[in-house]
């Protein structure tokens, strides 16, 4: 079911209602998992899960078919749709899982008790139950102590938990870094041994975890822990193992520091930085237009294809890296303030320019870029839209009316007129047409 943004107060009230309804019908019912962890940490839960003794068919009968989704009924899971603004609650029957045969799903489930249900969960901090009606925590796995001590620990035998669902290794990294906790030694050792198995997880699930890691607090620590546990080499081999050789930790940390300093972090910015430090810049024309495929593009598109990223994410990564490198060269060669506007405008007028400014500022703050250049670029973005991206002086129809043949020549002439317009060499349509008339003689070429 697609995630639905819910009002936190409405979501909490609805989760309380679900527990109350189940209890009134004579069943055990508690909040379970991440929402309990967040409650105890003083955080607002993103969503609520309920664990109960009621079987799926009973849950459906209690809440009605119109308000329940049975997509997980085979595993004891029913989704209860709340009133507008309240989101939904997953209600899972207490269960014990059979063996996992695909690194993600159990072959079957047996309905059981709260104590047994807690043992099948991933980490102790996620294995807690909470009775919201009387405010009592039920802890069968030592999760409360680990929360108080700031420890992420697998429940039971760590290697067994990770064998059941290989994605749990990435989740361990995300929880450890996001909460500022310590990864328990046996849990960490199991990840280091089993890291290659994470490649059996679907690319979409891996990409989703990476998005969460780089977009949240603790992202710098998450990236460094990915590298140190060996997971980075499996989920991002193109940058963690460039050319087959491990990326030096200090080089990776250069990128992770910049990513940690971003104001509006997102996966494309993180990938652009990681590619930047792992793939040495090659000789490229500093004024090459953004639409032209660049040497680093193949690497970016390889990552995007393997992780099945959206075209927008892949193209944004490609564009951000090209922009950073082109602006760096312009700054090094002549300084941005003296560079031609036509070489800057394609980057600064792009809709992704705010992300670019954020990345340049973070690079400057961490010693990887020029503070002067970052400040200058940020100031340029305050200019009115019609200065950043003025309407073209001429269109294709204008050129055809002037006798320019259809086809490639139209684009070449339009590009040259646009360059001269941006550099203030042509300031009106009449000037542009007059220049075009002079230049479009049989012997002239754009």
Check residue 151 and give its pLDDT: 98
Domain with 420, as residue range(s), is: 396-439
User: Does 97 share its domain with 53?
Assistant: yes
Buried b (16+ CB within 10 A) or exposed e, 60-73: bebbeeeebbeeeb
User: Does 189 share its domain with 137?
Assistant: no
For residue 267, being part of any structural domain is answered with no
Confidence check: pLDDT of 181 > 50: yes
Nearest CA among 152, 145, 148, 150 for reference residue 121:
152
Token pair in block for residue 352: 């992704």
User: Does 30 share its domain with 64?
Assistant: yes
Q: How far is CA 421 from CA 315, 345, 362, in A?
A: 27, 11, 32
Report the C-alpha dihedral over residues 372, 374, 375, 380, rounded to 10 degrees. 120
Residues 272 and 308: their CA atoms lie apart, in Å, by 16
Residues 12 and 9: their CA atoms lie apart, in Å, by 5
Residues 135 and 374: their CA atoms lie apart, in Å, by 51
The total of structural domains in the chain comes to 4
For residue 155, being part of any structural domain is answered with yes
N- to C-terminal Cα separation, the chain = 55
Confidence check: pLDDT of 155 > 90: yes
Confidence of residue 286 (pLDDT cuts 50, 70, 90): very low
User: Does 289 share its domain with 341?
Assistant: yes
Confidence of residue 281 (pLDDT cuts 50, 70, 90): low
Confidence of residue 441 (pLDDT cuts 50, 70, 90): low
For residue 341, being part of any structural domain is answered with yes
For residue 328, being part of any structural domain is answered with yes
Residues 277 and 255: beta-carbon distance below 8 Å: yes
For residue 382, being part of any structural domain is answered with yes
Residues 306 and 203: beta-carbon distance below 8 Å: yes
Confidence of residue 3 (pLDDT cuts 50, 70, 90): very low
User: Does 334 share its domain with 203?
Assistant: no
Of 96, 116, 143, which marks where a domain is finished? 143
Mean pLDDT of 299-325: 96
User: Does 159 share its domain with 136?
Assistant: no
Residues 317 and 285: their CA atoms lie apart, in Å, by 19
Residues 390 and 386: their CA atoms lie apart, in Å, by 5
User: Does 129 share its domain with 3?
Assistant: yes
Residues 127 and 143: beta-carbon distance below 8 Å: yes
User: Does 43 share its domain with 166?
Assistant: no
User: Does 164 share its domain with 295?
Assistant: no
User: Does 95 share its domain with 154?
Assistant: no
User: Does 53 share its domain with 116?
Assistant: yes
Of 107, 122, 143, which marks where a domain is finished? 143
Residues 55 and 76: their CA atoms lie apart, in Å, by 7
Of 143, 159, 175, which marks where a domain is finished? 143
For residue 106, being part of any structural domain is answered with yes
The mean of the pLDDT values for the chain is 91
CA angle 191, 194, 200 (to 5 degrees): 115
Check residue 443 and give its pLDDT: 56
Confidence check: pLDDT of 1 > 70: no
- The neighbour count for residue 346, using CB atoms within 10 Å, is 20
Confidence check: pLDDT of 406 > 70: no
For residue 57, being part of any structural domain is answered with yes
Residues 185 and 152: their CA atoms lie apart, in Å, by 9
pLDDT tens per residue, range 217-228? 999 999 999 999
Q: Greater confidence, 282 or 420?
A: 420
Domain at 35, CATH number? 3.30.460.10
Q: How far is CA 7 from CA 58, 216, 217, in A?
A: 28, 20, 22
Scan for tokens 């890296």, then name that residue: 321
For residue 252, being part of any structural domain is answered with no
Q: Greater confidence, 396 or 223?
A: 223
Domain at 179, CATH number? 1.10.110.30
* Residue 283 burial (10 A CB sphere; 0-12, 13-18, 19+): exposed
Scan for tokens 């203030």, then name that residue: 424
Check residue 284 and give its pLDDT: 45
Check residue 4 and give its pLDDT: 47
User: Does 405 share its domain with 371?
Assistant: no
Mean pLDDT of 365-393: 93
pLDDT tens per residue, range 51-110? 999 999 999 999 999 999 988 888 889 999 999 999 999 999 999 876 666 656 666 678
């Amino acid at each position: 079911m697609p995630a639905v943004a819910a009002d936190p107060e409405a979501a909490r009230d609805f989760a309380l209602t679900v527990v109350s309804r189940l209890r009134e019908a004579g069943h055990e019912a508690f909040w379970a998992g991440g929402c309990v962890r967040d409650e105890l940490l003083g955080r607002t839960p993103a969503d609520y899960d309920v664990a109960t003794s009621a079987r799926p068919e009973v849950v459906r009968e209690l809440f009605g078919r119109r308000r329940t989704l049975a997509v997980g009924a085979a595993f004891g899971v029913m989704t209860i749709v709340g009133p507008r603004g309240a989101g939904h609650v997953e209600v899972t029957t207490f269960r014990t899982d059979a063996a996992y045969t695909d690194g993600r799903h159990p072959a079957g489930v047996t309905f059981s008790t709260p104590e047994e249900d807690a043992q099948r969960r991933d980490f102790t901090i996620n294995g807690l139950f909470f009775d919201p009606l009387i405010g009592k925590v039920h802890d069968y796995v030592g999760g409360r102590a680990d929360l108080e001590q700031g420890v992420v620990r697998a429940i039971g035998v760590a290697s067994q938990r990770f064998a059941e669902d290989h994605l749990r290794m990435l989740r361990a990294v995300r929880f450890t870094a996001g909460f500022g906790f310590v990864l328990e030694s046996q849990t960490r050792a199991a990840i280091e041994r089993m890291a290659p198995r994470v490649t059996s997880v679907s690319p979409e699930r891996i990409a989703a975890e990476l998005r969460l890691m780089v977009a949240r607090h603790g992202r710098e620590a998450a990236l460094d822990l990915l590298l140190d546990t060996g997971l980075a080499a499996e989920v991002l081999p193109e940058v963690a193992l460039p050319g087959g050789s491990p990326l030096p930790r200090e080089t990776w940390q250069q990128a992770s520091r910049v990513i940690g300093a971003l104001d509006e972090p997102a996966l494309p910015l993180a990938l652009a930085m990681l590619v930047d430090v792992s793939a040495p810049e090659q000789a490229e024309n500093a004024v090459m237009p953004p639409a032209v495929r660049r040497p680093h593009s193949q690497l970016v598109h390889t990552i995007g294809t393997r992780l099945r990223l959206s075209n927008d994410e892949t193209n944004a990564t490609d564009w951000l890296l090209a922009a950073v490198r082109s602006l760096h060269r312009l700054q090094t060669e002549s300084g941005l303030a003296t560079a031609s506007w036509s070489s800057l405008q394609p980057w600064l007028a792009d809709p992704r320019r705010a992300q670019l400014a954020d990345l340049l500022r973070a690079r400057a703050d961490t010693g990887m870029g020029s503070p002067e250049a970052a400040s200058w670029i940020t100031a340029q973005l305050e200019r009115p839209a019609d200065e950043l991206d003025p309407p073209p002086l001429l269109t294709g129809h204008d050129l055809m009316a002037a006798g320019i043949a259809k086809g490639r020549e139209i684009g070449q002439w339009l590009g040259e007129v646009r360059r001269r317009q941006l550099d203030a060499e042509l300031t009106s349509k009449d000037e542009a047409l007059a220049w075009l008339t002079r230049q479009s003689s049989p012997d002239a070429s754009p």
